[in-house]
Chains A and B, each alone.
Chain A
Amino acid sequence: MRRGTPADPVPVAVAASDAAIPLTRAQHLIWTGHALAPDAPVYNMAWRFDFRTSLDPASFGQAFRSVVQRCDTLRTIFEETDGVPRQRILDGPSGAFQVLNFGDEDAVVRWIAEQVRRPFDVSRETFRSALLQRPDGPSTWFLNLHHLVTDASSSEIIFREVARAYEAVRSGQDPPCAPMPSVAEQAKREPGEPDPDAQAYWERRLAQPIALPRLYQRPAGGSATNAHRVVIPLGPERCAKLRGYAGSDDFAALSATQSLFNLLATVLVAWISRVSGQSAPSIGVVTHGRRSLEARRAVGCFVEIFPLQAEIGDGETFRSLHAKVAREGLDLLRHAGPGASSAKAQGRFNVVLNYIPTAFGGFGGAPPDVAWLDTGHTDPGHALRLNVTDFGGRGAIELAFLFNDSVFDADLRARAPRHFLRALDGLLADPDVPIRTLALADPDEASTRLARRAELVTHEATPVDDVVASFRRLVGEAPDAVVVQDCAGDTSRAALDARSDAFAQALAEAGAGPGCLVGIHLTRVSDLPAAMLGVLKLGASVVPLDPTQPPGRLDAILREAGLRVVISERQLAGRWAGGETRLLVDDVPAAPHEPFTPVHGDAPAYVMFTSGSTGTPKGVQVGRPALARYARWAHTEFAGGGAAAWALHSAIGFDLTITSLFAPLANGGSIVAYRETLEGPDLSVLRVFEDDAVDVVKLTPAHLSLAVEAGRPVRRIRALVLGGEDLPTQLARRACETLGEHVAIFNEYGPTEATVGCMIHRFDPGADVAPSVPIGVAAAATCIYVLDAGLHPVPDDVVGDLYVAGPDRLAAGYLNRAAETSERFVPDPFRPGSKMYRTGDFASVRPDGVLRFHGRADDQVKIGGVRIELGEIRQAVLAHPDVTDCTLGLWQRAPSETVQCARCGIGSDYPDARIDHTGVCGLCRDYDEYRSRAATYFRDMDGLRRIVARAADRKTGAYDCVMLLSGGKDSTYALCQLAEITPSVLAATLDNGFLSAQAKENIRRVTESLGIEHRFLTTPAMNEIFVDSLNRHANVCNGCFKTIYTLGLKLARDEGAPLIVTGLSRGQMFETRLAPELFDSGKGDVADIDAMVLEARKTYHRFQDVAARRLNGTLFDDDSIFDQVEFVDFYRYCDVPVTEVYAYLRRHVPWVRPADTGRSTNCLINDAGIHVHKTLRGYHNYALPYSWDVRMGHKTRDEARAELEDEIDETRVTAILREIGFDRSLDAPSHGPRIVCHYVAKGDLAPDVLRRFLGRRLPREMTPAHFVPVASIPLTANGKVDRAQLPEPGEDVSQAIRSVTTAPRTSLEKTLWDIWRAVLRRSELGVEDNFYEVGGDSIAAIQIASRAAGAGLNVSAVDVFRHQTIAELAALAGQAPDVPERPRARATLDARSKQRLEELFGRRAHD
């Protein structure tokens, strides 16, 4: 490339006038985005115009410069003053124009590629323009503008004006010289405030909660700006059709542009909904924002983006969705006044539709080829931007998909546009087809391949021998081999064979025969397998009846099944009162009187009763070939085909247990039976892991949690088969760690209707990183489909309905329920003539063919692995005579369910938030009340000067004081001020190994410019201290702070400085020490407070945590150090607004806000602490500090919320945690979904009464965890229960029910109370509260027991179930004499203040 002539120099920023113009709202949003990623060319708007001929460079240059002179937008730069950006118009251009000569096209391409991505320093330049000349070839104009000064229309205006000026110059005339309207002029004319109507509209819209769609299960937003553009020309045929629709009566809008926009927005919304599962997606639509004819002629940035949301119902068609989109679009335009777009509105979409109607005309006689160049970057918040263009204005529409790389990988970037086009073609083919039935997937996608292989699977499947035949063959092979072990001893195959013959014969004598249903109501003893085999030998069907279920439910099953004969045992007599013939195992002989010949028959092997939606359990009839096929596959898959021992420990009424019975019986393994206790929860699984005497354990994730919680390494157990419910990856990982790496963990998926298990995935700790372990791939001879509502395979990574099919795979349907059977067992479109089972589960297929599970589609839920129909529970609740109405649902404590204080933004997930009905938190209310009294605590700068002067007298070394400098704005400002009081300051900063480079650089520059000595403090124990802090406080800041204080004290002592000055902010002082109680009337004596703070400080340093052990030495052996060195907090003496802090720093020192960390922090480990705290404690550890920043006016509520909602990069955090040696797994305790029952009752029906009533009718897992009395059940307009209006269970509700919360009365109760609160994650808890009422479950019981043991109390998990209140448990554990706590003396603080004081210095290491 040679530089041609003429070229403008890069302009010098000379102001045309001093008038700085504020930014428009649209510019503000761009400015913010630019400030977040200043080095990424996200906002470069670069054009390439390829002319047909060679242009005259001199004329072009003259033309271009004339336009710059007429257009002040091209002479505008942007500067930040006091944190406020302003635009300033210069005399000269705010960018360069060059003429460049190139030898060949490659050089042009290379030069442009480099130029496109060059970021702008908008305080110096906002555009670059170059005419690219080729020898004897056509010219190209490259024009790159920062989005702050342009949009697509503006670019076209510049193009048009340059063309006009060029033609004038070429024809020997002067180019036009009249000034062009500019955005700056427009900005001045726009009203400052949006009109009230628009404001109300947006407030209403933005108040609705929204979840951003996760396209193809990817993250909703990007994490970086890198992006790829995929351009798809629609082609003449589609364009013509589209125009046809746009012009038709049904789809025409006010203008052709609006019509096309509506159609494409409809397709986009439909596509998003289909590939994300979101039923009411919101997209960002770009509006041109030019409100008048003059504005439409102005150059500048006018575009604004507004959210447009439309709901897609089950039967929604393109036509009906189009009507909604068109209406929403008009509504949006009506309220799209100036200033209406807000940062909050920008957070309501992650997909943007930019329909650009701009067309470029001729230049020098002919229109050039126009390209809007790809910068390779996008707004990090946008997963996708879809730009729709027709720059030539010839009706050739192009779609440009700008895919954010952190959301879309290369594979998806190829697939997604094809899915979009199928949706578009769907609309063009027939707008009345339901959107949910459109086939979108490519033929080569994994889900399509699954469907295609169905026939092959069927063709290749071979039948498996019946389980009875297999067992008899095994008896013949090795009659003495042990097949069952239980507490009574070992049973050989031959003995089991004989005993099962005896059962068959006794049953026949009792009147049962082939085709009969025979109930088996037995505990888990050796007779259980014998009885089951006996029933099968008779040609009858087993109906397993769980002996621990309450009589009411047992009766319901007996009635539904119409059982006549039930095998039971003497100790279970009296558990039901039915009139069936009972065959007691004691009455059955060890062997039959005469040999029994088995009958095969077609009867189902078993009928398993599951929860039914109508209120009565329904029976799933599983055939013998299906059982045989499953048992063989399970044996091969989990026992590796060898003679393994299987643990029989789970409930027999649950089809999970089928595996541990029949896989060994039919395939040469053995069963180790663990008999249940009939009272209390069945914790047999714990014994299985204690004994470690089997090879394979089939269990639910809930079981595994119990085992891991109580766990220790196992030696023999080598395979765990997880079934029943979703398996969290964290749990699988923890199981590997606890039990041993040799243990294989299989995640088995399967509904009862598809015979126990039909899919399998072996957990791979290295590869399985999604929150749930995948459900894997199909079992042998099994077909798995993931389909849309039209029964087409869904695209890979998209959630669809999961179907199961295959020869000898499915149950024969539901007992006596033909209608329900035909509803769920439907024709298989891929295997004509066969059925498939609609599981009601959601799943997605990964491109490698592995399936992931995504929950249930219907009212059915799974708790602890057990399938539950909420309808059945509802019927049971309604059976109570006082209950008039009720509704059942699932409730899970989740961040999205929190509300935020209207004033400070603290979330209701913060344990002490106490948000009241006006939406204000207890902290804000308290503060209102005591802030004026608390003011007595603060002093003025003269006070500080006196303290420093005193220190100067006392010092024994060179320094008056040590200043603890974090390097943040607050401590830096404090240092500057302190330096004015005395130059003898030694600044000290803890280098914890994670201090950002820019923060260090700041500290170095600032101390140097102030002429202040500075030291970095370090300790080799830092990582150990972090780990200890994470374990104790679930954060890193406490450890960091204690280190700073300890090392700071040492430094002061060693240097002979009698004073330490901290940069603790006023918010931090309120947060950690100025509790309202201190200022109760009669208190508030500042000397008292100071004395207490000093006492707390001494206790704090004496407390033996890792920081103390590793750092203290002899420093705190006595309290003399506190006589030698005094602490003062700078901001106790100085009250300064945050704006002044920034302004001061900008004026006086070379301090810049670090850009290499998160937001308000200097420290790169901060996120790790936040992540651990959020996971373990359920809320953000900065929730409280930031709320104080807001109260102090140092942050706005929105800023605080935005920071609290920042996403944490888990990969980076995990790496940091590993680096410092924090290896604890991060499973939050007891956070699974719970059943909640809202009920309306006559009179006062207490939740406890209702709970006891249900306890007699429902199994424990079906009993709701929460009962909430309500006056009525709120309904939506459609007459459905409006769950959003129901009060949440939890602290407020339980408080409303319990008028009195009894506080712990003894130290023992207090110990248990602390443990309960920690395990159950509740701040409010009374000692009379029932364990279940407050959300307890088995895992919580085990956690309580283990923590109680840690506190020296002898309390077992079973004790927790039996003694269900803290008071009762304390009475049980209270063997030792108990000392009641002394009543509180005036000088002692209550628990809350005390805790605050103990954490006095610990909350945060940033400022």
Chain B
Amino acid sequence: MLDTIKSFIETELLSGREIDSGENLLLSGLVDSLGVMRLVAFIEVKFGLKVPAADIKLVNFATLDAIVAYVGARAEQ
């Protein structure tokens, strides 16, 4: 899962730039709201889950680690 998400972020959102799993994507400005929403759409399709609007916040999407943790928790529900 981590690799899938990482690869999406790096190729689709960041034009090939590599990221660290703890790197803050949002505060650094690397990924913006449009990018997050592209990622949300990707996650929903790829992992077959629904990301409610209320979950789209900084704490769940700031870093690759956070995203992976969120998706993992969500998938278990």
Which A residues are closer than 8 A to B by beta carbons? Answer: 197, 252-255, 257-258, 287-295, 326-327, 329-331, 333-334, 336
Question: Knowing A254-B58, A254-B61, A330-B56 touch, does A291 contact B30 (C-beta < 8 A)?
Answer: no
B15 to chain A, nearest CB (A): 4
Quick check: B38 and A291 within 8 Å, CB to CB?
yes
* CB < 8 Å neighbour of B13 from A257, A289, A292, A326: A292
Give Cα A252–Cα B45 distance, bound, in whole angstroms: 27
Q: Are B37 and A293 in contact (CB under 8 A)?
A: no
Task: Please pick, from A291, A326, A331, the residue contacting B35 in the complex, using a CB distance under 8 A.
Answer: A291
Hey, what's the 0/1 contact readout for B13-46 against A, CB within 8 Å counting as 1?
Answer: 1110100000000100110111111101100010
Residues of chain A within 8 A of B40, CB atoms compared: 334
Q: Does residue B53 face the partner (Cβ distance < 8 Å to A)?
A: yes
State in angstroms the CA–CA spacing of A932 and B1 once bound together: 59
17 A-B contacts (beta carbon < 8 Å) = A197-B41, A252-B58, A254-B32, A254-B36, A254-B61, A255-B29, A289-B34, A291-B35, A292-B13, A329-B33, A330-B33, A330-B53, A330-B56, A331-B53, A334-B40, A334-B41, A336-B34
Closest chain-A Cβ to B25's Cβ sits at a distance in Å of 10
User: In the complex where A333-B34, A334-B40 touch, is A254 in contact with B14 (Cβ < 8 A)?
Assistant: no
Tell me the bound Cα distance from A287 to B38 in angstroms.
Answer: 14
Complex formed: what's the CA distance from A941 to B36 in Å? Answer: 61
In contact, B32 and A293 (Cβ under 8 angstroms):
no
Give the CA-CA distance A197 to B32 in the complex, in Å: 21
Question: Given A254-B58, A292-B15, 7 more contacts at CB 8 Å?
Answer: A197-B41, A252-B57, A253-B33, A288-B34, A290-B34, A293-B15, A336-B37
User: In whole angstroms, what is the CA distance A1279 to B15 when docked?
Assistant: 51
Minimum Cβ distance to chain A for residue B31 (Å) = 9
The reply to whether B32 and A257 form a contact with Cβ atoms under 8 Å apart is yes
Note all chain B residues with C-beta closer than 8 A to A287.
34
Q: In the bound complex, how far is the Cα of B42 from the Cα of A197, in angstroms?
A: 11
The residue among B13, B37, B57 with the most chain A CB atoms within 10 A of its own CB is: B37
List of B residues within 8 angstroms of A288 by Cβ: 32, 34
Q: Tell me the smallest distance from the CB of A1247 to a CB of chain B, in Å.
A: 47
Whole-angstrom distance between the Cβ of A981 and the nearest chain B Cβ: 59
For B35, list chain A residues within 8 Å (CB): 291
Knowing A254-B26, A293-B17 are in contact, say whether A327-B34 is a contact too (CB < 8 A): no
Q: Closest chain A residue to B30 by CB distance?
A: A293
Which chain B positions have C-beta within 8 A of A291?
Answer: 12-13, 34-35, 38
Residues of B within 8 A of A253 (CB): 33, 57
A181 shortest CB reach to chain B, Å? 9
Contact of A333 among B13, B37, B45 (CB under 8 A): B37
Q: How far is it, in angstroms, between the C-alpha of A405 and the C-alpha of B35 when the chains are bound?
A: 37
Among all A-B residue pairs, the 3 with the closest Cβ atoms: A294-B15, A334-B37, A333-B37
CB nearest neighbor in B for A333: B37
Chain B residues, CB < 8 A from A289: 34
Write out the residue numbers on chain A whose beta carbons fall within 8 Å of the beta carbon of B12: 291-292
Residue on B nearest A331 in the bound complex, by CB: B53
Across the interface, A292 reaches (CB within 8 A) one of B14, B45, B56, namely: B14
CB-CB < 8 A to B38: which residues of A?
291, 334
Q: Which of B13, B15, B30, B56 is within 8 Å of A254, CB to CB?
A: B56
Complex contact A293–B13 (CB within 8 A): yes
Q: How far is the CB of A6 from chain B (nearest CB, A)?
A: 37
Residue of A nearest to B10 (CB): A293
Q: Which chain B positions have C-beta within 8 A of A295?
A: 15
How many angstroms from the CA of A255 to the CA of B41 in the assembled complex?
18
Closest to B29 in A: A255
User: B33 touching A258 by the CB < 8 A rule?
Assistant: yes
**B41 nearest CB neighbor, chain A only:** A334
In the bound complex, residues from chain A placing their C-beta under 8 Å from that of B17 are: 293
Complex: chain B residue closest to A253, CB-CB: B33
Q: How far apart are B34's CB and chain A's nearest CB, in angstroms? A: 5
- In whole Å, how far is B49's beta carbon from the nearest beta carbon of chain A? 15
Distance between B40 CB and nearest chain A CB, rounded to angstroms: 6
- Shortest A323–chain B CB gap in Å is 9
Question: Could you tell me the distance in whole angstroms from the C-beta of B77 to the nearest C-beta in chain A?
Answer: 21
Contacts of A197 in B (CB 8 A): 41, 45
The A-contacting residues of B in range 51-71, CB under 8 angstroms, are: 53, 56-58, 61
A290: chain B residues within 8 A (beta carbon): 34
Using CB atoms, name the residue of chain A closest to B56. Answer: A330
Q: Give A383 to B69 CA distance when docked, in angstroms.
A: 46
A302, chain B: closest CB distance, angstroms: 11
Within the assembled complex, what's the spacing in Å between the Cα atoms of A336 and B36? 12
Kindly list chain B residues whose C-beta atoms are within 8 Å of the C-beta of A327.
53
User: What B residues does A258 contact at CB under 8 A?
Assistant: 32-33
What residue of chain A has the Cβ atom nearest to residue B11's Cβ?
A: A292
**Minimum distance in angstroms from A758 CB to a CB of chain B:** 50
Given contact pairs A292-B13, A293-B17, A327-B53, A255 touches B33 in the complex (Cβ within 8 A): yes
User: Which chain A residue shows the least CB distance to B36?
Assistant: A254
A255 proximity list for chain B (CB < 8 A): 26, 29, 32-33
With the chains together, A336 CA to B17 CA distance in Å?
Answer: 23
User: Chain A residues near B53 (CB, 8 Å)?
Assistant: 326-327, 330-331
CB distance from A1113 to the nearest CB of B (A): 73
Q: Are B37 and A330 in contact (CB under 8 A)?
A: yes
What is the CA–CA distance of A857 and B14 in the complex, to the nearest angstrom?
A: 54
**Which of chain B's residues has its CB closest to A254's CB?**
B33
- The distance in angstroms between the C-alpha atoms of A976 and B26, with both chains bound, is 63
Distance between Cα atoms of A287 and B34 in the complex (Å)? 8
Q: Which residue of B lies closest to A296 (CB)?
A: B32
CA distance A258 to B37 in the complex (A): 12
Residues of chain A within 8 A (CB-CB) of B56 are 254, 330
For residue A327, which residue of chain B has the nearest CB?
B53
**Bound complex: CA of A333 vs CA of B32, how far in Å?**
11
In whole angstroms, what is the CA distance A1372 to B61 when docked?
82
Assembly CA distance A334 to B45 (angstroms): 13
Please name all residues of chain A whose beta carbon is closer than 8 Å to the beta carbon of B41 when the two chains form the complex: 197, 334
A255, A290, A336, most chain B CB atoms within 10 A: A255
Residues of B within 8 A of A254 (CB): 26, 32-33, 36, 56-58, 61
A332 to B: closest C-beta gap in Å: 9
**Measured between C-beta atoms, what is the minimum distance from A757 to chain B in Å?**
53
Residues from chain A with Cβ under 8 Å of B29 in the complex: 255
A1118 to B66 CA separation, bound complex (whole angstroms): 93
CB neighbours of B32 from chain A (8 A): 254-255, 257-258, 288
Q: How far is the CA of A1035 from the CA of B38 in the complex (A)?
A: 53
What residue in chain B is nearest A337 (Cβ atoms)?
B38
- 8 Å CB contact of B33 from A252, A294, A333: A333
Name the residue on A nearest B27 (C-beta). Answer: A255
Minimum distance in angstroms from B36 CB to a CB of chain A: 5
Tell me the bound Cα distance from A286 to B34 in angstroms: 12
Question: Please, how many angstroms separate the alpha-carbon atoms of A1234 and B36 in the complex?
Answer: 52
What is the chain A residue whose CB lies nearest that of B53?
A327
Cβ contacts under 8 Å, B58 to chain A: 252, 254
Q: How far is A253 from B58 in the complex, measured between Cα atoms in Å?
A: 7
Interface centre among A287, A295, A326, A334 (most CB of B within 10 A): A334
Q: Which of A287, A295, A331, A333 has the most CB of B within 10 A?
A: A333
Report the Cα distance A217→B35, complex, angstroms. Answer: 39
| Chain B residues in 8 Å Cβ range of A336 | 34, 37
- In the assembled complex, the Cα of A254 lies from the Cα of B51 at a distance in Å of 15
Whether A293 touches B14, Cβ cut-off 8 Å, given contacts A255-B26, A327-B53, A330-B56, is yes
Residues of A within 8 A of B61 (CB): 254
Kindly provide the distance from the CB of A191 to the nearest chain B CB, expressed in whole angstroms: 12
Q: How far is the CA of A197 from the CA of B50 in the complex (A)?
A: 14
How far is it, in angstroms, between the C-alpha of A80 and the C-alpha of B34 when the chains are bound? 33
Which B residues touch A331, using CB under 8 A? 53
Complex contacts, B26 vs chain A, CB 8 Å: 254-255
Q: How far is the CB of A647 from chain B (nearest CB, A)?
A: 65
Query: Whole-angstrom distance between the alpha carbons of A255 and B24 in the complex?
Result: 12
> How far apart are A140's CB and chain B's nearest CB, in angstroms?
30
Q: Smallest CB–CB gap between A388 and chain B, Å?
A: 16
CA distance A257 to B12 in the complex (A): 22
Complex interface: chain B residues within 8 A of A326 (CB): 53
* Complex: A258 Cα to B35 Cα, angstroms: 12
